[in-house]
Amino acid sequence: MTNTAVPDFQHRTVLLDEAVDALAIAGARADGIYVDGTFGRGGHSRLLLSRLGPNGRLIAFDKDPQAIATAETIADPRFTIVHDSFATMAAALAERGITQVDGVLLDLGISSPQVDDAARGFSFRNDGPLDMRMDTTRGMSAAQWLATESEQTLEKVIREYGEERFAFQIAKAIVARRAIEPISTTRQLAGIVAGAVKTREKGKDPATRTFQAIRIFVNKELEDLEAGLKQAYDTLAIGGIMAVISFHSLEDRMVKRFFAERVNVAQPDRRLPIRAVDLPQPELKLLAKMKPSDAEVDANPRARSAVMRVAQRLATNHAGSAR
C-alpha cells in the first residue's frame, strides 16, 4: 500500500520494531486510530501502516519540509501527514473529526538526514549555514538568534538546554566575536566554542552541548514536548498506549516526570472515612522502559543515548466522545 522514497541521506529508525510493538496493534486495535508525532523519514509510520487493519488510521506530524515531501509519497488512504509540530495535535485531530486515539508514538530529537545535510546547520562536523531550524519555512535561524540575543540569555540557554558548565565563557565569546563579524556558519560557531571551553569531555567535541542547546531553543523542542505530552494524554482512549523515545536527559526527565505524576496519585489520609471506590486512582500504567540493544547501537551509534518509555491510559473519567 505504500511507495518508499529513497532520501538523499539515509536514516536508521531507532527502536523501530520495539516502538511499534509497544503500541500493541492487533485484534480490534488494528482498526484503531494512531498518531506518529515525528514522521522523520517514515520508518515508524510505514511499519505502523503494515500493522493496521483496513479501517485503521494513522495521522503523522512533522515540521521538516523534506520529511513532508517524503510522507507525501505514501499512497495509502489510511495515512494523513500534517506539516506542523505534534504540539498542535489536539487541534489537528479535531479538524479531522477525531477526539480519541488508540496510540501515540513520539520519536524526539533530530533525524540523521537533518544532521548529515550540512546545509541544515545542525552539525559542526561539516561547514554550513548556521540555520538549525527543523521547519525551514518559518521562524528565526540560529544565526539570526545569535546576532540579536543578549549575553545573559545566551548563557542561560546554553547552560540550561545544553547542560554546559562553560556557558558563561561561551556566551561572552559569542558576543565578542559578533561585534567583529557575523556568526553565520557552523564552523565559525564551533571554533568560538572550542576557544572558550577549557576542559574537554573525553570522546566529545567541545561544541556538542552548545549546538544541542541552540537547536533545542530555536525549535522550541521542550515547549513542544510539554504541550505534546499533555495533548497526547488528553486524546488517548482508555487502554490507549503512549510510547516516547528521547535522546537526551532533559527530554527523558520531562517524560519520566509526566508519566510519574499520573501513575503515583496522592492518597488522602488513611484515617479519613473514604470508601476504597472513592480513592484517587492512577491514570496511567507504566508498561516499559527500554534502551536499544547492543547490536542496534553497534549498527547505529546514534542510537546509544535513546530511551523509550511506554505507558497505558487507565483513568475511567476520560473526557471525549467516540470517534
Average pLDDT, the chain: 89
CA distance 36 to 81: 9
Mean pLDDT of 32-50: 96
- CA 269, 270, 274, 277 dihedral sign is positive
- Residue 272 scores a pLDDT above 70: no
Q: What is the pLDDT, as a whole number, of residue 315?
A: 66
- Kindly tell me the sign of the dihedral angle through the C-alpha atoms of 3, 107, 158, 154: positive
pLDDT at 319 over 60: no
**Is there a binding annotation on residue 43?**
yes
Task: Tell whether residue 44 is among the known ligand binding residues.
Answer: yes
- Secondary structure of residue 151 in the 3-state scheme: helix
Going by pLDDT thresholds of 50, 70 and 90, the confidence category of residue 229 is very high
* Domains 16-112+221-313 and 137-218 in one fold: no
User: pTM score, two decimals?
Assistant: 0.87
* 258 carries a ligand binding annotation: no
Q: What is the pLDDT of residue 264?
A: 76
CA 112-117-123 angle, 5° bins: 75
Say if residue 42 carries a ligand binding annotation: yes
Q: Which residue has the higher pLDDT, 116 or 62?
A: 62
**72-97 pLDDT tens trace:** 999 999 999 999 999 999 999 999 99
C-alpha distances in angstroms, 205 versus 133, 217, 284, 289, 294? Answer: 21, 20, 39, 29, 23
pLDDT digits (tens, 9 = 90+) for 292-318: 999 999 998 888 999 999 999 996 544
pLDDT of residue 123: 86
For the domain spanning 137-218, the CATH number is 1.10.150.170
Residue 58 · residue 32 · CB < 8 Å? no
pLDDT at 137: 92
Residue 70: what pLDDT? 95
Give me the residue spans of the domains in the chain.
16-112+221-313, 137-218
Segment holding 309, helix H or strand E: strand 307-313
Is there a binding annotation on residue 9?
no
On whether 107 is known to bind a ligand per the annotation, the reply is yes
Task: Centre a 10 Å sphere on the Cβ of residue 191 and count the other Cβ atoms it contains.
Answer: 16
CA 26 – CA 42 distance, rounded (Å) = 21
User: What are the pLDDT digits (tens) for 101-153?
Assistant: 999 999 997 877 787 788 898 888 889 999 999 999 999 999 999 999 999 99
Q: Is 27 annotated in some ligand binding site?
A: no
So what CATH class is 16-112+221-313? alpha beta
Say if CB 141 and CB 132 are below 8 A apart.
yes
